[in-house]
Copies of this chain bind each other. A is one copy, B any other.
């Protein structure tokens, strides 16, 4: 880093270096949830006049004594009361004019939460779970950030059991299929989907059934994370 300057003298260095420290850094959290068979994201109405009335992701400036991940967890905790949830850094966005206040580079995280575990506090009544289907315009470059995180989620649910973070601990195969259909935005063949999942041999049949449902109660399952972890260590699956 800064090695392209190695031919210049030290004073030029110092002036140039000072010039570089003019960027601000923020985090933006794409908090995904799932209910009513829809993939949702937690949004807030922007309070910047430039984006009046537009939806914005939840984010904040990273403080001078704060790590990036720490800032993202702080935003999540402040807004949802949750910690200890699935969160992953996805991509950093730094388009030159993306923020009206100056050059603000933002590190985007996505988080997968069970909507039922989120209690939106009264002071948070401007917060809203929004179906990702109906979102077109957003503040800043937040639509692009959302799309990028959604794309990452699509890739991840195909190869890793991250989607279960969006479901209750006990779920039916129908709920699981609805989740996959909502994330991937496709219709899946019911028989193939069940066959596929049951053949992985990672769902535990709980010998329980759904209660209080307006249709024939379905069997409930749990994902076997222990078995998955053990198998992952042994198995080397190349496939594309």
Q: Which residues of A contact B (CB under 8 A)?
A: 1-4, 6, 17, 19-26, 28, 44, 46-48, 56-62, 64-68, 78, 89, 91-96, 99, 101-107, 140, 157-161, 180, 184, 186, 188, 196-197, 200, 202, 228, 236-240
Taking the full assembly, how many copies of this chain does it contain?
2
Output the nearest chain B residue to A45 by Cβ-Cβ distance.
B3
Q: Given A2-B60, A6-B47, A26-B1, decide whether A238 and B180 contact each other with a Cβ distance below 8 A.
A: yes
Q: Is the CB of B1 within 8 A of A158?
A: no
The distance in angstroms between the C-alpha atoms of A104 and B61, with both chains bound, is: 15
Name the distance in Å between A106's Cβ and chain B's nearest Cβ: 7
Q: With contacts A68-B92, A158-B236 known, what are 15 further pairs, Cβ within 8 A?
A: A2-B60, A2-B61, A17-B102, A20-B61, A21-B22, A21-B103, A23-B105, A68-B94, A94-B107, A105-B107, A158-B238, A159-B239, A184-B236, A196-B238, A196-B239
